[in-house]
Structure 1
Amino acid sequence: MRIVEVIADARHTKTLLGMAGFYGAEDAWCGEAGEDGRRAVRMLVDDQSRQALTDSLQDLFKADAAARIVIQPVDTVLTRDTPRRQDEALRRARAIAATREELYSEIVKGARLDTNHLVLTALSTLVAAIGLLENNVAVVIGAMVIAPLLGPNIALAFATSLGDRALVWQALRTNVAGLGLSLLLAVAIGLIWQVDFSLNELATRTDVGLAGVVLALASGAAAVLSLTSGLSSTLVGVMVAVALLPPTATIGLALGNARWDLALGALLLLAVNIVCVLLAAKLVFLFKGVRPRTWTERNRARQSMRLYLALWALLLAVLITVILLRSGTLAPLY
């Protein structure tokens, strides 16, 4: 449940209260008109109706630059409902669903390429490299948690679901910059540090099996479900489960020590994690019905959806084939 607050010209008050009733708002109230002639109308809206109401409000005020639509979270609503109604309200609260606009506001933060993103990437790479070199699993996990590399990939899947080309390029740019910076730092460390690749934390990042593919798919789906259900705190667990930073750091350390075979194995693990996250996130967004607001945008996004789903599925099939060939499970054709 959220409070949808609309700040618009006072002449829209009757229309807004009518929309609140039509979309089943639990309650609606309005304040006094200000000196600029605008009035705030607030509606207490459940999760099932909020997206439809938000879409209608955007259509109503698409030509009004002064209008504002603000969605505010609600922690607790105290009522005198019967126990049965209270149980029903609790059930709905546990199935929190975010609107398209709320998701966009949350996800776009992860695709933002700024100083904080680069600094966090550099620091997490240093922490990960130390953890790998010292075979310290706690330090490696710490690096996974602070690394900001998962956000751009989720943003990329979300952008393709909406057909938002600007966000697609922003997510790609941030992803390439983050992975590139991490790789360069790891290569520099590998050039000045003699690495023992028999250490468990390093050895496990130079090989990948089918279990790793399943883990990455499940973790990517869990990441998007945690966002769409409003349970962003579970993202910490996802960051650990499908970490992108340790394989990237391992690639750099192996390249710095001229261990091309191990670098290839770590690269395969990184590629599997990225492709699986993108494919799983894409499928969850599709299942959740995340799509653009207008018909034209939906038609354009539908085309890009098919293209990207086919692309990620093809890449995953190629990666699985490579994994099976490396493991000897699938015999080469020559």
Structure 2
Amino acid sequence: MPPVGVEPLLEKLRKAGISEDTYTIVLSPEMVISKRIDVLKKRFPDQRISREELIARAEDLAPPASTYIAFLVLSTAIATGGLLLDSAATIIGAMVIAPLMGPAISTSVGTVVYDRKLITRGLTLQVAGLLLAIAVGAFIGFLITELGMMPPGIDIREISQVAERTNPTFLSLFLALGSGIAGAISIIRNAGSALVGVAIAAALVPPAATSGLGFAFGLPAVAIISAVLVLVNVLAINISALILFWLSGFRPLGSSAVGRARKAVVLNILVLGVAIAILSTVLGLVTYVSSQTALIEQQAKAEVSVMLNESEYEDMRLVTESVDVSYRPADLILNEPARVTVILYRRAGQELPPGIAQRIDDRLTEFTGREVRVRVGFIEAQQTT
């Protein structure tokens, strides 16, 4: 029979007097040759596995504590190195061995079938694992700084892989929601669990490692924003998987247990939903701030180019890609000025327009509505006739 037929058959066996103390083994045949296959498919149109198989898979996905810790420490260490090396390939490689899918799925499965042991184990592994990942990231960061393995004066916020986790947007929330749904589907349909595990780990391990690096390098904003991203992602993964398992029809045995499970599911969805909504305000703020800073940078570069094309400055040329705007989200929040650096070519002996830096400053302030600080540098050029 199809996998979805296992559960109703087991219920009939229980009603016939076969208790749970017996061994029930479910086997998958290599091939079935029968004219009744179409009849079975019509009778069992769904493709989900049975409740018992779901519980068994959830238990298998949550590995023993020693294995879980070992793989989590290794994956976080590799991910931390990938962040500092700005290597997306290294980070992806770390996600392959990260064991975070199992605990998230176990918690959701335990809730819908009202298995408190499974819930407790899943929650414990999730909380302890993410705290451990942050601690490992911090330890590696402290070790690197103490051993002088990073160039002096480097700002990890300028590393693109780190910046990606310190400037999260609502797209990060959609990634986590999608990962949770994909994880539930992969378990229900028994397909692609390994690949989905990579997606779930990608939503959790790199930001956790980034949070640890924030603590190590004395950057509390990096540590806090990344930790918020981790928390939002783990809540989103749990709520999406929980909803999908419940909508797929998984219930505990017994009508009284079904009622308790329904209450637990509704309560968890409400609590997780409210927590996500509250924490998402941080993502919303970061999204707004990031868009505003990007807009200021774009406006400043465009306006400087327009200004230098005017006749008054026709003897000067802008060095290619030489308008640098330093304006971080923290600067916008703290109302700090944008720092604009402009590099110009000028002919040897050419007289400079008086107060050109201030002119650019005034123009950008008026155009962007933001306070700026302008520095203008010159490269003297000579050309043969």
**Which of 269, 277, 284 matches 1:324?**
284
Partner of 2:27: 72
Q: Which amino acid aligns with 1:154?
A: I
Larger mean Cα displacement after TM superposition, 293-302 or 85-94: 85-94
Partner of 1:162: 113
Question: What per-residue deviation string (whole Å, max 9, x for no partner) do you get for residues 231-274 of structure 1?
Answer: 1x244145236531111111111111111101112112111210
Q: Is the aligned partner of 1:114 residue 2:65?
A: yes
C-alpha separation between the residues in 2 aligned to 1:64 and 1:207?
51
Q: Is the aligned partner of 1:236 residue 2:191?
A: no
**What is the TM-score with the length of structure 2 in the denominator?**
0.67
Question: What per-residue deviation string (whole Å, max 9, x for no partner) do you get for residues 186-223 of structure 1?
Answer: 11111122462311111111121111112211221111
C-alpha separation between the residues in 2 aligned to 1:126 and 1:91?
50
CA RMSD of aligned residues (A): 2.5
Question: What per-residue deviation string (whole Å, max 9, x for no partner) do you get for residues 73-100 of structure 1?
Answer: 2232133x3xxx6677789999632111
**What is the TM-score with the length of structure 1 in the denominator?**
0.77
**Which of 172, 175, 190 matches 2:126?**
175
Q: Is the aligned partner of 1:213 residue 2:213?
A: no
Larger mean Cα displacement after TM superposition, 137-146 or 168-177: 168-177
C-alpha contact 1:112 1:170 (8 A) present in aligned 2: no
Q: Is the aligned partner of 1:298 residue 2:262?
A: no
Partner of 2:209: 249
Q: Is the aligned partner of 1:53 residue 2:23?
A: no
Partner of 2:246: 286
Find the structure with the greater CA-based Rg: 2
Helix, strand or coil at the partner of 1:73: coil
Helix, strand or coil at the partner of 2:25: strand
Instruction: For structure 2, list consecutive stretches of 5 or more residues without a partner in the other structure.
Output: 151-155, 290-332, 334-385
Partner of 1:96: 47
Q: Are the structure 2 counterparts of residues 64 and 86 from structure 1 closer, same or farther at C-alpha, using a change threshold of 3 Å?
A: closer
Q: Are the structure 2 counterparts of residues 94 and 262 from structure 1 closer, same or farther at C-alpha, using a change threshold of 3 Å?
A: farther
C-alpha separation between the residues in 2 aligned to 1:90 and 1:155?
29
Question: What per-residue deviation string (whole Å, max 9, x for no partner) do you get for residues 268-318 of structure 1?
Answer: 211121011011001101110111021111111111111101011111111
Q: Which amino acid aligns with 1:236?
A: L
Q: Which amino acid aligns with 1:125?
A: T
Higher RCO (CA 8 Å, separation ≥ 6 residues): 1
Aligned length: 280
Q: Are the structure 2 counterparts of residues 96 and 200 from structure 1 closer, same or farther at C-alpha, using a change threshold of 3 Å?
A: same
Percent of pairs identical after alignment?
A: 28
C-alpha separation between the residues in 2 aligned to 1:165 and 1:95?
28
C-alpha separation between the residues in 1 aligned to 2:63 and 2:242?
20
Structure 1 residue runs of 4 or more that deviate by more than 3 Å after TM superposition? 58-65, 85-96, 326-329
Question: What is the Cα deviation at residue 111 of structure 1?
Answer: 2.8
Partner of 1:277: 237
C-alpha separation between the residues in 2 aligned to 1:205 and 1:123?
20
